[in-house]
Structure 1
Amino acid sequence: MTVWIFRLARWSALLGGLVLVGITLMSVASISGRALIAFGLGPVPGDFELVEAGTAVAVFLFLPWTYLRAGHATVDLLYTHLPAALQRGIAVACDLAMLALWSVLTWRLWEGMEEKRQYLETTFILQMPVWWAYAVCLAGALIGCLAYLTQSLIRLGLARYPQGWPLATAGGALR
């Protein structure tokens, strides 16, 4: 099970990277078009709407992999001086708290998506349904829930990291 979730999180991050590359290319085209208005070019219509939706999508797609790779910023001024058992307890408590938080976030994202879909809300310029971006973000949030659940199970000793996973960087694995 963990292998599948780790792979899903990785592919999610790669997809998020492609979204970010797309946003970047579109931004370059839009800025270049603005600079070349005298030559008949112009900005990409709705560029800020696409950047807004694309950035949200990329973030939600990146977060599960970032979490599994222990890529989040940490402040461990006192933590590293605590006994190993207390470090483990804090890590488990934090993982469970983040699982709960991420579950609530996913639920509220679902509710928001349903509301946007029900009221047929669209973006101002492109008239793109807003719920589309919510739906893709929701997919990333669900993968995030699986990542937090998996990491929590690993910390509790109920699951294992995938074969060959570098334990030194495995979600802040303890020594």
Structure 2
Amino acid sequence: MYAVLSRIAERLAAALAIAGGLVLLGIVVLTCISIAGRALVPFDLGIGPIRGIYDMTEIGMAAAIFAFLPWAQLRDAHAKVDLFQALMPGGMNRVLELIFNIAMFAIATVGTYRLYLGMQDKLSYGETTLIAQIPVWQGYAAALVGSVGFVLIAAFCILRSARRVVGLPG
């Protein structure tokens, strides 16, 4: 059962990270097109910058960042201070890893819940971005996808750490 969960977690985290990377590539392409359009304005070709590029960049960056969180959690790539880790016995390090993963799960869960509430708030008020008039709740919804993935991967990491504490492969 653990092997199946491990493969699912790996695929979910990888899919979200790839989606986040594609969003970033899209932002780069849109930015380049907008800059080129801005440079061509003096030639009066009817080409100009993309209206609302800042709004699109802001939403895309938020979605991409949240999409990368599950991969970072699965790979233990979050920043941590390990000044005394080398001095502690292996069993203590495994217990500390379990505590860290429980804390990350709690943070991910609270963050996801608050993001959901924020999305509901923006949806009920019908708030839009200033220039492009994109409904703000859509940005929250895009970030929520990665955030839910973060919660699921953090839960898996608790299982993985607990298995290591009791001496099972993880």
Q: Same fold by TM-score, threshold 0.5 exceeded?
A: yes
| Among candidates 116, 120, 125, match of residue 114 of structure 1 | 120
Matches of 2:91 and 2:76 in 1, distance apart?
20
State the Cα distance separating 1:51 from its structure 2 match: 0.6
What is the total number of aligned residue pairs between the two structures? Answer: 160
State the Cα distance separating 1:85 from its structure 2 match: 1.5
**SS in structure 1 at match of 2:35:** helix
The aligned counterpart of 1:18 is 22
1:32-71 alignment to 2 at 5 Å? 32-39=36-43, 40=45, 41-71=47-77
Q: Which amino acid in the other structure matches residue 17 of structure 1? A: G
Matches of 2:6 and 2:128 in 1, distance apart?
38
User: Which structure 1 segments of 5+ residues have no match?
Assistant: 159-166, 168-172
Stretches of 4+ moved more than 3 A in 1? none
2:157 pairs with 1:151: yes
State the Cα distance separating 1:126 from its structure 2 match: 1.2
State the Cα distance separating 1:32 from its structure 2 match: 1.5
1:77-88 alignment to 2 at 5 Å? 77-88=83-94
State the Cα distance separating 1:74 from its structure 2 match: 3.1
Tell me the TM-score normalized by structure 2: 0.89
Matches of 2:137 and 2:6 in 1, distance apart?
30
1:125-164 alignment to 2 at 5 Å? 125-157=131-163
Matches of 2:86 and 2:18 in 1, distance apart?
32
Matches of 2:16 and 2:113 in 1, distance apart?
20
User: Which structure 2 segments of 5+ residues have no match?
Assistant: none
Q: How much identity, in percent, do the aligned residues show?
A: 40
Matches of 1:45 and 1:52 in 2, distance apart?
13
State the Cα distance separating 1:145 from its structure 2 match: 0.3
